[in-house]
Structure 1
């Protein structure tokens, strides 16, 4: 079963599913959340993700596209573990941040299958040639 943790190890999780499916998002919210150019997300059915130790804190804010985006993070080290959104397309999934995977799950991370919000991708960042390119979320 794939698993992961925050930087300090206080929050640990596991999930049932595939850790190889990665979706990059270049939206402004993901840039702010990551402090970088994008986030690398692993979509997992919400009921298949279990926090096995620690208690992540959460913060909800309006996404620039109008839906509510909730970020779950370690209150000790600040690592963003996963995100949830109330938009229809995200209603049943959690978006695990791929950098938080541990062990063999980290070794199995695949190339991104899609890039979202490419209209906001940094001009110096090349597209992933094998990924579907989407101007927005759909």
Structure 2
């Protein structure tokens, strides 16, 4: 079974996840735009049980906020450098799922790398900035469904 590796910018927090992602998607919702500082986030959804913080757990902090969907979005990030490692949401569709931020994947350690991400969906396209085109072949969802 493939094991993928990732870390924060300062390398104080590192993680692995095993197996194949449940889904790979970008999200254009306002909270994702805010946490990324860009137009969207690139997300790898994996079973929470498959995600292991391998080092720096003591540096991992979380912040919860209301999401426009009515769910609570919780960000898990490095207290030192601020890198968002993963997110989770409390809605039924996201139970037991970690939303790993694709940009935190480390290259050259085996497993999935950023270039391996295959987007199956674009979420919250109603919030996509007008100058950013759609991803060819990815499902286009106005919100999460």
Please give the range of the TM-score, normalised by the shorter of the 2 chains: over 0.9
Contact 1:21 1:110 in 2 (8 A): no
Q: Displaced runs of 4+ in structure 1, greater than 4 A?
A: none
TM-score, structure 2 length as denominator?
Answer: 0.90
Could you report, residue by residue, the CA deviation over 1:61-98 in whole angstroms, capped at 9, with x for unpaired residues?
11112111100000000000000000111112000000
TM-score, structure 1 length as denominator?
Answer: 0.94
Check 1:5–1:13 CA distance in 2 against 1; reply closer, same or farther (3 A cut): same
Tell me the SS of whatever aligns to 1:22: strand
Contact 2:44 2:101 in 1 (8 A): yes
Q: Distance in 2 between matches of 1:32 and 1:16?
A: 29
Corresponding position of 1:111: 118
**What's the CA shift for 1:107?**
5.2
Q: Distance in 1 between matches of 2:43 and 2:12?
A: 21
Q: Distance in 2 between matches of 1:71 and 1:16?
A: 21
Aligned-residue RMSD, C-alpha: 1.5
Q: 2:131 aligns with which of 106, 124, 131?
A: 124
Say whether residues 1:61 and 2:65 are aligned partners. Answer: yes
Corresponding position of 1:16: 18
Could you report, residue by residue, the CA deviation over 1:15-73 in whole angstroms, capped at 9, with x for unpaired residues?
11226952010011100111111000000001110000002100011111211110000
Check 1:19–1:46 CA distance in 2 against 1; reply closer, same or farther (3 A cut): closer
Q: Distance in 2 between matches of 1:20 and 1:91?
A: 12
* Contiguous gaps of at least 5 residues in structure 1: none
Q: 1:27 aligns with which of 21, 29, 33?
A: 29
Q: Distance in 2 between matches of 1:16 and 1:135?
A: 30
Contact 1:19 1:108 in 2 (8 A): no
Q: How many residues align?
A: 138
Within-5 A mapping of 1:77-96? 77-96=81-100
